[in-house]
Amino acid sequence: MIDFFWLKSFTEILQLFLSVFFIIYLNIKYTSDNKTIKWLSIFFYIKLITDLYGILNYTSWISSILTKPILEFYRVTMGALEVGMLLSLFIFVHSLFKKEVSLKQGLPYFGLAVVMLPINIILRYVFNFDLILPFDLVKILWILTALYLIVNYIKNSSIKLFFITIVLWNALWLAEVILHHQLMLINEPLSWTIFVISELIFTMGIAYFFIQVVINPKILKFENIHEVMPNALRRMIESNLDSAIKENKLYLRPDLNLNILAKEIHASPSDLTIYLNKILNKNFNQFIIDHRIEESKLLLNAFHENKLNIEQVMYASGFNSKSVFNTAFKNRTGMTPSQYKKLHKN
């Protein structure tokens, strides 16, 4: 007789190792401050937790050691964890094909996962609910979201195939739960067969995705920094730019542009652009404005000594437009220059 528990545990172990390899590969090979890579890494970090539950629950000698309440509580958290996985994948795809989403911008969306946890705890421990219906809803959400991304977002065939395995994984899980646990239309061996097949499909999907990323990293629009810019050139730009910004404070020049800064640090405009975009993950304007805002904050903090008003601070920090200054300051500090000055005055 087939040992379905062993097969399920085996697929969970495979997925766990694939997730670990994926995380290590992404974080070693590519820049750690890439927003897109962070969301993909978050997906696999959450997946590690869900894989661990599968190993603990379906490996007989481990589950016999752990008490039932521990595994039960772990199971209660699974709905929230799966929603977290789904949200991180959605933001990853959005960052990849539409517009990059920072951690600060994306974290509020995880409110759904956070809210789901206490709801499941109340349903299970207060009302003794078996959580099958919430499980159905999460799986339906997975299927609909993955199909929506395949149709409207994903353009790369390798990523699209990975998401098709996600659809099949969740569809088979949902079918197994409805047909066996809710409608009781199929027997237990067939239920387990569907269950294990769904996990094998998802395991193969992750393995395929990982292999494709290793073979062709640019499918994720990630670029190896050493391929983009030689180490010697990168170190030269880094050193000269640091000197130009920290010592000479070139950002205080209102007429500063990309060509001027490139000339000052003895680099071509294209090399400077690559350095800013690929290594600092900023464009030229963002880079200069960030330094000007930091300068303006220093001046506002020292207004007792320098006696500068807001407009004088604006010009002294390199800005020549009040609207640009106010907008940039508020975007980076969450308050207007006047509010910031008043706060530090007190």
More confident position, 37 or 164: 164
More confident position, 123 or 171: 171
Task: Provide the residue count of the chain.
Answer: 346
List, for residues 300-334, the tens digit of each pLDDT value: 888 767 678 899 999 999 999 999 999 999 999 99
Spatial contact of 156 and 213, defined as CB atoms under 8 Å apart: no
- Phi/psi of residue 235, nearest 5 degrees: -65, -35
pLDDT at res. 306: 67
- Report all structural domains of the chain as residue ranges with CATH numbers, in order of start: 4-220 (1.20.1070), 227-345 (1.10.10.60)
How far is it, in rounded angstroms, from Cα 214 to Cα 210? 6
More confident position, 273 or 32: 273
pLDDT at res. 295: 93
pLDDT at res. 206: 96
Produce one character per residue of 16-39: b if its CB has 16 or more CB atoms within 10 Å, e if not. bebbeebbeebeeebbeebbbbbb
How far is it, in rounded angstroms, from Cα 167 to Cα 148? 11
The pTM of the full predicted model, rounded to 2 decimals, is 0.66
Share of the chain above pLDDT 90, in %: 51
Produce one character per residue of 104-140: b if its CB has 16 or more CB atoms within 10 Å, e if not. eebeeebeebeebbeebeebbeeeeeebeebbbebbe
Spatial contact of 139 and 198, defined as CB atoms under 8 Å apart: no
Confidence of residue 226 (pLDDT cuts 50, 70, 90): low
Distances (CA, A) of 111 to 97, 108, 118, 167, 281: 24, 6, 12, 24, 27
